[in-house]
Amino acid sequence: MADNMDQQQTTNTVEEPLDLIRLSLDERIYVKLRNDRELRGRLHAYDQHLNMILGDPWVAQRFETVTTIEIDEETYEEIYKSTKRNIPMLFVWGDCVVLVAPPLRVG
C-alpha cells in the first residue's frame, strides 16, 4: 500500500484532511458511521483517530430488513426502520467513522 509517511506534524503547503476538519470545530457536522448510522451534531473536539465529541447530536440508525411473509404467495417485504435518538453529549469512537461532512441541506 502507500508508504507510511510520517507527515503528521510537518505539513508542507498541502493541508491534511484533519486540518480541514479543524475548520469545522464548533460547527454542525454530519458524520456517517458504519452499520448505517448517521450523526448530526456540533463538533466540540476530535483527534487523529477521528474520535469526536459531539454536542447536541442526533443519532439516526437506518437499517433495512428483508423479511419473507407467506400469505397466499411468497412475498418479500422490505422494512426500513429508522430510529432517531437525541443525545446531549456523545463520544464517537473514531474506528466507526466513515465520513465527515457539513450537514446535508435538504433542498
Partner 1 sequence: MSLRKQTPSDFLKQIIGRPVVVKLNSGVDYRGVLACLDGYMNIALEQTEEYVNGQLKNKYGDAFIRGNNAYLFFSFQYCI
Considering beta carbons, is residue 1 or 69 the nearer one to partner 1?
1
- Cell (9 digits) for 27: 460547527
Which residue, 71 or 106, is less far from partner 1 as judged by CB?
A: 106
Residues that bind partner 1 (CB under 8 A): 1-8, 14-18, 20-21, 34, 48, 50, 94-95, 97-102, 104
Q: Bridge-partner residues for 82, per DSSP? A: 62
How far apart are CB 15 and partner 1 at their closest, in Å?
A: 6
Q: Minimum CB separation from partner 1 for residue 85, in Å?
A: 21
Residue (48 or 70) nearer to partner 1, CB: 48
What is the rounded CA–CA span in Å between residue 67 and residue 18?
Answer: 41
The nearest distance, CB 88 to partner 1, in angstroms, is 25
| Closest CB 61 distance from partner 1, rounded Å | 15
> Could you give the CA distance from residue 102 to residue 30 in angstroms, rounded to a whole number?
6
Burial bucket for residue 56 (CB in 10 Å: 0-12, 13-18, 19+): middle
* Residue length of the chain: 107
Counting other chains too, the contacts that 64-69 makes at CB distance below 8 Å and 24 or more residues apart are: 64/36
